[in-house]
Structure 1
Amino acid sequence: MREGLAPDLRPFTVNASLNAVAVYERLGFAATGPRQERNGIAFVPMAAALEGA
């Protein structure tokens, strides 16, 4: 995530399937690491800053 985010913003993370990465990017998410695979399932870790409650 970017440094210097406003204090009321909280990181929200997902493990996006490879086919969903573009959708998450349109929603404001950014990859936080390279493609990974666990138990035969490939994903890209992603995060976005969302307003806290």
Structure 2
Amino acid sequence: MNKENFPPNLSLEEREKKLLEMSDEEIDYSDIPPLDEDFFNNATLVNKRNLKLL
């Protein structure tokens, strides 16, 4: 996925439609860092059942 596929003037609905039409191979994940050992060592498990709605 590159920026030409998603110009800033697209509506949210248009962006969603384009994303749904794309295959996994077309999506560029290069700007997302890998989840390495440090990530999991610092992660906190959240139990949704115990969360209170504000």
TM-score between the two structures when normalised by the length of structure 1? 0.24
Structure with bigger RCO (C-alpha 8 Å, 6+ apart):
1
TM-score computed with the length of structure 2 as normaliser:
0.24
The structure carrying a bigger strand percent of its residues is 1
Q: Which has the larger radius of gyration?
A: 2
